A and B are shown apart, each in its own frame.
Chain A
Amino acid sequence: MVHLSRRRFAASIASLAASTAFLPRFAGAQAPEFRIGALCPITGAGAQYGAGMQRAIQFAANQVNAAGGAAGRQLRVFTEDDQTQPEAGVLAAKKLIEVNQVQAVVGTWASGVTLAVIPMAVRANVLAMNVSGAPDISALHNDGMSWRFHPTNAEFGKAFAAVCAKQGYKRPALMGFNNAFGLGLTGGFQAAWEKGGGTIAGRVIYEPRRPSYRGEVQEILRAKPDVIVMGSYLADTTLIMREAFQEGYEGRWIMPGWSANDQLVAALGPQATEGVISMDTIPNEGSGAFKSFDDEYKRAMNVSGASNVFAAMSYDMVISLALALEAAGPSASPREIGQKMRLVANPDGTKVYGFAEGKDALKRGKINYEGASGALDFDEFGDVKGNFLMSVIEKGRLVRKDVVAG
């Protein structure tokens, strides 16, 4: 009995292996397919965005394929979960590169994961695209191998400082999650704030995944801040805000949008969250690219595409990558494709809002893809500038207030 089932099992594995081995050969009748590895945070701190990002990458690839592929090549997406952890991310990237033989790894979210994956990808001559914020990532552009679709954390911190100055706060205190994002945001805030002549009342960098942050909160409250600037995520923010409320803090908060959201209100109630300032990178809501992204996103996820700016960025990764591939030609190497990114996305070209339109316009010259997530104009480090939406929680609801340019 055991013998039989084991044999059957072995046979099924073998046939599975055989079928996947033959698949590319059938598919590659003309130009070989272009393989993309979608490496998104399906579990861990980024889990609330990862699934949507992965779907966006898939339907963007479907759109490209429906338009006849890029440079005659069909896109094929392989998916992996980076677990929002560098170790898991590196292992998954290794698998995508070595086993699936992808030519681009797109969709890394946490800075720690991105920082670990880029050098590996570059060594393997594979393009890397991320939505991370750590300033250090700018140094890994590698002449067009790594591209960032999200503004840097320092930019985030700068926008926070601008808002705090405008609101008239005098004693900001900083609390940062001990990772590239938390350090980058609080560092960017401090630099911008001190440049404007202000001083920081206090600063605490804390460890993730603690059962309590009471000691940290007590330390920051001793500085008597009028606003607490958070470089944080949802789980730690929930604990920190609850404990600060219990300790009697009555000042304001300013934090990224993934911390100050409906789930935070659900956890803490409207009283403790009243007046929290939420800063978000926002999608390019007026653009045609956003509309076609949004339509597909609603179909795939049953919620508005505006709820997941990272999915819009992931969508843009595939569309801009496909346009660059189209411009570089079917036999271009990943590096040659990377070097076409600015040609298809930066100003001076004809503005386009989707792959089919861009493919057509490319025949006549330079194009400027205006993405679903933003204008998508890359600087010399492969970074984009974002727009930040400032919202305030009023009676348990996020109310849009202002757009701050990055």
Chain B
Amino acid sequence: MDIVFIANLVVAGIVEGSLIALAALAMTLVFGVARFPNAATGDFMAFGAYAALMAYATAGLPIWLAAAIAIAATALLALVSYRFVFSKLLNRSPVANLLASIGVALIIRSALSWYFGSAQRTFSFPLVRSMNLGGIRIHPTDLAVVGVALAAMLVVFTLLYVTPLGRRMRAVADNPLLARASGIRSAYVMVALWLIAGGVSALAGVLLGVKAIVTPEMGFDVLLHIFTATVLGGIGNPLGAVVGGLVIGIAQELASPIVGASYKLAVGFVVLVALLLVRPQGLFGGAEVTR
């Protein structure tokens, strides 16, 4: 393997990894605050992708506006699913919530394939060749995907660590009872959480749809990667989810010439198992999330 080939694989890994990272961020936020793995994350993504596709291809809006509409629509969908499903299960076990989220996922996926059919759709951007930087090939779409994903993560981190809302969310994530005792209204935090989780998922879905194709199963198909990245980073830790996504993406690409492309997914799990043996709480997980 020459160095250019390896560099190209790393680039491919970073692009895929940042997509996974963004979706994992949405999942880990829900886990941190609402304390269950949200299996509907992938289907929020698919919903967002279809919403953007409708706005872009059918209504003819520019892509940035279509993405904004998709984010708003999916945030609303996430809020609706909280209002009618997850708010009823607030004090139930994570397993009850997980099962409910699988139900929500199935409803969204079925509704999408009922309304749009199962045929693939694409954002038909004109195809262009990649830029060739000394053998390392970089495509404008990839730059856009990584750029937008990074920007979105930055926004979420700012929201979490700079604003009062973020402080409240982190307080509820750390200790819901203590947060309530300090006068933080958890209902308000939950609404904010689901809006953010829906919006971030939608953006990840739009990016995935632009880069790949749009199908009702598109989000479900990457759900396993998202789970892996979330666990790898330390469940409930936003920074961990992002790093986890990138690690999985790059490790899979680098390993595939050696072990064969058909074992890509397995490589992700090998990385996960190896890390969990050394650090059971994940890359950035604190002790409190492992209890």
Interface residues of A (CB under 8 A from B): 43-44, 47-48, 178, 204-207, 209-212, 214-216, 218-219, 222, 234-235, 238-239, 242, 245-248, 263, 266-269, 271-272
Question: Is B257 at the interface (CB under 8 A from chain A)?
Answer: yes
Question: A205–B260 contact, CB under 8 A?
Answer: yes
| Inter-subunit contact B261/A269 (CB<8 Å) | no
Query: Measured between C-beta atoms, what is the minimum distance from A135 to chain B in Å?
Result: 19
Residues of A within 8 A of B13 (CB): 215
Q: Give the residue name and chain of the B residue nearest to A182 (CB).
A: B262
A248 and B213 form a contact (CB under 8 A): no
* Nearest A residue to B221, CB-CB: A209
Among B5, B127, B141, the most chain A Cβ lie within 10 Å of the Cβ of B127
Indicate whether B126 reaches chain A with its CB closer than 8 angstroms: yes
Closest to B117 in A: A47
CA distance A245 to B141 in the complex (A): 13
CA distance A209 to B215 in the complex (A): 11
Contact residues in A for B257 (Cβ distance below 8 Å): 215, 219
- Interface flag for B43 (CB, 8 Å): no
A196 to B217 alpha-carbon distance, docked (Å): 42
Q: Does the CB pair A248–B212 fall under 8 Å?
A: no
Point out the residues of chain A lying under 8 angstroms from B8, CB to CB.
Answer: 218
* Closest chain B CB from A279 CB (angstroms): 21
A215, B253: Cβ atoms closer than 8 Å: yes
Q: Are A206 and B124 closer than 8 Å at their CB atoms?
A: no
Given A211-B211, A267-B213, answer yes or no on A238-B261 (Cβ-Cβ < 8 Å).
Answer: no
The interface centre, meaning the residue of A48, A212, A263, A271 with most chain B CB atoms within 10 A of its CB, is A212
Total interface residues on B, CB under 8 Å, equals 42
Pair B253/A238 contact, Cβ less than 8 Å: no
Residue in A235, A238, A263, A271 with the greatest tally of chain B CB atoms within 10 Å: A235
Q: How far is the CA of A280 from the CA of B139 in the complex (A)?
A: 33
Residues in chain B near residue A218, CB distance under 8 A: 5, 8-9, 12
Helix, strand, loop or mixed for chain A's interface?
helix
Contact of B261 among A204, A245, A268, A271 (CB under 8 A): A204
Number of CB contacts from chain A to chain B under 8 A = 97
Contact in complex: A216, B261 (CB < 8 Å): yes
**Contact residues, B88-106 vs A (CB, 8 A):** none
CB distance from A238 to the nearest CB of B (A): 5
Known: A212-B211, A219-B257, A219-B261. A266 touches B124 (CB 8 A): yes
- A319 nearest CB across to chain B (Å): 28
Quick check: B119 and A263 within 8 Å, CB to CB? yes
- Measured CB to CB, the nearest residue on chain A to B254 is A215
Query: Whole-angstrom distance between the alpha carbons of A280 and B122 in the complex?
Result: 24
Q: Helix, strand, loop or mixed for chain B's interface?
A: helix
Residues of A within 8 A of B260 (CB): 205
Which A residues are CB-close (under 8 A) to B120? 234-235, 238, 263, 267
Instruction: Give the CA-CA distance A268 to B12 in the complex, in Å.
Output: 20
B265 proximal to A (CB < 8 A): yes
What residues of A have a CB within 8 angstroms of the CB of B139 in the complex?
Answer: 246
Q: Are B253 and A245 in contact (CB under 8 A)?
A: no
A209: chain B residues at CB < 8 Å are 217, 221
Closest residue of A by beta carbon distance from B20:
A211
**B215 touching A235, Cβ below 8 Å:** yes
Asked if B113 contacts A43 (CB within 8 A), the reply is: yes
Which residue from B9, B124, B213, B256 sits with its C-beta under 8 Å from A235? B213
Tell me whether B246 is interfacial, beta carbon within 8 Å.
Answer: no
In the complex, chain B residues whose CB is within 8 Å of the CB of A206? 261-262
CB–CB B19/A211 < 8 A: yes
Query: A99: shortest Cβ distance to chain B, in Å?
Result: 23
Give B198 Cβ to nearest chain A Cβ, in Å: 20
Q: Contacts of B19 on A, CB cut-off 8 Å?
A: 211
| Chain A residues whose C-beta falls within 8 Å of the C-beta of B15 in the assembled complex | 212, 214
Q: Is B132 an interface residue (CB 8 A)?
A: yes
Encode contact with A along B1-34: 1 for CB under 8 Å, 0 otherwise. Answer: 0000100110011011001100000000000000
Residues in A with CB closer than 8 Å to B16 are 211-212, 214
List, in ascending order, chain A residues with CB within 8 A of B265's CB: 207
Contact with A along B248-282 (1 / 0, CB 8 A): 00001100110011101100000000000000000
Q: For the complex, what is the distance from the CA of A44 to the CA of B221, rounded to whole Å?
A: 12
Question: Is A248 a contact partner of B129 (Cβ separation < 8 A)?
Answer: yes
**23 sample A-B contacts, Cβ–Cβ < 8 Å, listed by A number:** A43-B118, A44-B118, A205-B262, A206-B262, A207-B261, A210-B264, A211-B211, A214-B15, A215-B12, A215-B252, A219-B261, A235-B120, A239-B212, A239-B213, A246-B141, A247-B137, A248-B137, A266-B124, A267-B124, A268-B127, A269-B126, A269-B127, A271-B127
For A178, list chain B residues within 8 Å (CB): 262
Point out the residues of chain A lying under 8 angstroms from B137, CB to CB. Answer: 246-248
Residues from chain A with a CB closer than 8 A to the CB of B132 are 248
Decide yes or no whether B163 CB sits under 8 A from chain A: no
| Cα-based distance from A207 to B225 in the complex (angstroms) | 13
Any A CB within 8 A of the CB of B187:
no
The distance from the CB of B177 to the nearest CB of chain A, in whole angstroms, is 35
**B108 → chain A closest CB, angstroms:** 15
CB-defined contacts of A47 to chain B, threshold 8 Å: 118-119
**Which residue on chain B has the smallest CB distance to residue A217?**
B12
Q: How far is the CB of A96 from chain B (nearest CB, A)?
A: 22
Whole-angstrom distance from the CB of B246 to the nearest CB of chain A? 14
For residue B208, give the distance in angstroms from its CB to the closest CB of chain A: 6
Question: B222 interface residue, CB < 8 Å from A?
Answer: yes
Contacts of A242 in B (CB 8 A): 127
Q: A residues within 8 A CB of B126?
A: 269
- Which residues on B sit within 8 Å (CB–CB) of A266? 122, 124
Asked if B128 is an interface residue, CB under 8 A from chain A, the answer is: yes
| B270: min CB distance to chain A, Å | 15
Which A-chain residue is minimally distant from B1 (CB atoms)?
A222
* Residues of chain A lying within 8 A (CB to CB) of residue B122: 238, 266-267
Question: Is B175 located at the chain interface by the 8 A CB criterion?
Answer: no
Closest 10 CB pairs of A and B: A214-B12, A209-B221, A47-B118, A267-B122, A178-B262, A215-B253, A206-B261, A246-B130, A216-B261, A246-B139
Assess whether B222 is in contact with A211, with CB atoms less than 8 Å apart: yes
Residue in A212, A216, A245, A247 whose beta carbon sits within 8 Å of that of B212 in the complex: A212
Q: Is the CB of A238 within 8 A of B118?
A: no
CA A215 – CA B12 in complex, angstroms? 7
Q: Is the CB of A246 within 8 A of B128?
A: yes
Write the nearest CB–CB distance from B197 to chain A, whole angstroms: 20
Per-residue contact bits, chain B 231-256, to A (CB 8 Å; 1 contact, 0 not): 00000000000000000000011001
